[in-house]
């Protein structure tokens, strides 16, 4: 995929880089500045949640409901640690019930060693 051939344009300055498609009003923003010794690197936070229609529906319902357990949020938001799950839920305006995260079987299996 070549974004510039697909109608996107490149613009920016020393603090941010924008890749913009004016026709469909799409924009990629690279505004995470990482300073190096003699230069810098611009990065972006990317999140694939909205790519999956099933996840989008669940998240939309979750934001409409008063509370969600930390364990459910952990599974829906990508199996992050408890702190990360709480931060993502807060950013998505998902209210979490009080309580600690239980051990996730899928995470335990993924971390297991022979």
Residue 104 CB coordination number (10 Å) = 14
Question: Both 28 and 58 in a single domain?
Answer: no
Provide the domain count of the chain.
Answer: 2
Whether residue 58 lies inside any domain: the answer is yes
User: Do 78 and 54 belong to one domain?
Assistant: yes
Q: What are phi and psi of 90, to 5 degrees?
A: -65, -45
Residues 86 and 62 in one domain: yes
pLDDT tens for each residue of 21-74: 777 777 778 888 878 788 887 887 766 555 566 666 666 665 566 688 899 889
Residues 90 and 70 in one domain: yes
Q: Which two tokens stand for residue 75?
A: 């599974």
Query: Is 25 in the same domain as 63?
Result: no
pLDDT higher at 93 or 82: 82
Which pLDDT score is estimated for 10? 83
The domain containing residue 57 runs over which residues?
A: 49-100
What pLDDT shows up at residue 55? 65
pLDDT score of 113:
76
Domain assignment of residue 55, yes or no: yes
Same domain, 39 and 57: no
Q: What is the pLDDT of residue 101?
A: 92
Whether residue 105 is contained in a domain is answered as no
One domain, residues 57 and 95 = yes
pTM of the predicted model as reported, rounded to 2 decimal places: 0.47
- Return d(Cα 39, Cα 47) in angstroms, integer: 26
38 with 13, same domain?
yes
Torsion of CA 44, 31, 74, 54, to 10 degrees: -60
In a domain, 37, yes or no: yes
């Amino acid at each position: 995929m070549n974004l510039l051939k697909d109608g996107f344009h490149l613009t920016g300055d020393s603090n941010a880089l924008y890749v913009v498609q004016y026709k469909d009003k799409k924009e990629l923003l690279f505004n995470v500045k990482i300073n190096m010794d003699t230069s810098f690197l611009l990065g972006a936070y990317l999140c694939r949640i909205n790519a999956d229609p099933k996840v989008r529906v669940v998240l939309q319902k979750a934001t409409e409901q008063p509370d969600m357990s930390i364990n459910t949020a952990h599974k829906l938001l990508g199996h992050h640690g408890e702190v990360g799950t709480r931060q993502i839920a807060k950013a998505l305006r998902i209210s979490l019930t009080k309580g600690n995260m239980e051990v996730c079987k899928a995470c335990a299996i993924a971390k297991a060693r022979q």
